[in-house]
Amino acid sequence: MSDNNNNEEDEIQLDASNKAERKTLKQVLGINMFQVALAGIVGFIANSTGLLGAALDNLADSAVYLVSIYAVGKGVVAQSRAANLSGVLLIGLGLLLLGEVIRRFVTEAEPIGWAMIITAIVNAASNLLALRLLKSQGERGVHMKASMVFTSNDMLVNLGIVLSGVGVMVFNSPLPDLIISLIVVGVVLQGGWKILKQAQSARRKGVAASEYNNQKKKHRE
């Protein structure tokens, strides 16, 4: 009787935990969509490849958070698949951004430095809020770890855009913006690769644990 009560209590606690996790991911998704709109609009107006890259990065993050919301409460295999999709999305958008950097380098569009700085500061503050929300839930699964990797990368990217905006104003050249864009590409590709590795590792552990449990059941029978 006591075992049944304990199991029911565990299920209630797990359900409450999953609901809190979903709520946090939805809040972070909202923050990311705000960043997509802000960086995308200002980046287009200010001719900043760095901001456009940040907008693409945030757009990928938003897709990741949607996938992570789906993975909440699911098994390790489902979480690993969600993280795999996240990694592939990030790498794909990183390659698209690389193409945009090359195009901007050829056209030599002049970015607006002060617009880059203000936008990146606002987005960095938003990243800090999102990171705190994610950390409040802990690292419960590979899908949550993927979300934290994205948010940490975004913060670094925005700090880099602030520095490149200063460089654009000081040197009156688009080169700092193009340089930070290449760094963004590197961060995005590295983040995607890291998430794919985490997903593969978690999947292997999950499969091994499942096989071990199946063997134990067979021995008992």
Which CATH number characterizes residue 152's domain? 1.20.1510
Length of the chain: 221
Query: What pLDDT was estimated at residue 16?
Result: 54
- pLDDT tens digits for range 154-200: 888 898 899 999 999 999 888 899 888 888 888 778 878 877 887 77
Residue 14 is assigned to a structural domain of this protein? no
Residue 38 is assigned to a structural domain of this protein? yes
Calculate mean pLDDT across residues 18-26. Answer: 81
> Residue for token digits 């985490």?
198
Residues 50, 6: Cα–Cα separation, whole Å: 53
Please check the confidence at residue 13 and state whether its pLDDT lies above 70. no
Query: What pLDDT was estimated at residue 41?
Result: 95
The token pair at 215 is 């063997």
* H-helix segments, the chain: 2-45, 49-71, 76-107, 113-135, 142-171, 175-220
206/102: higher pLDDT: 102
Domain that holds residue 99: 23-220
By C-alpha distance, which of 216, 202, 103 is closest to 146? 202
Residue 5 is assigned to a structural domain of this protein? no
Residue 175 is assigned to a structural domain of this protein? yes
Residue 15 is assigned to a structural domain of this protein? no
Please check the confidence at residue 20 and state whether its pLDDT lies above 50. yes
Residue 170 is assigned to a structural domain of this protein? yes
Please check the confidence at residue 142 and state whether its pLDDT lies above 70. no
Count up the domains in the chain and report the number: 1
Residue 11 is assigned to a structural domain of this protein? no
Query: pTM to 2 decimals?
Result: 0.71
Please check the confidence at residue 26 and state whether its pLDDT lies above 80. yes
Residue 7 is assigned to a structural domain of this protein? no
> Residue for token digits 């994610």?
134
- pLDDT tens digits for range 40-85: 999 989 988 889 888 887 887 787 777 777 766 666 677 677 778 7
Residues 208, 214: Cα–Cα separation, whole Å: 10
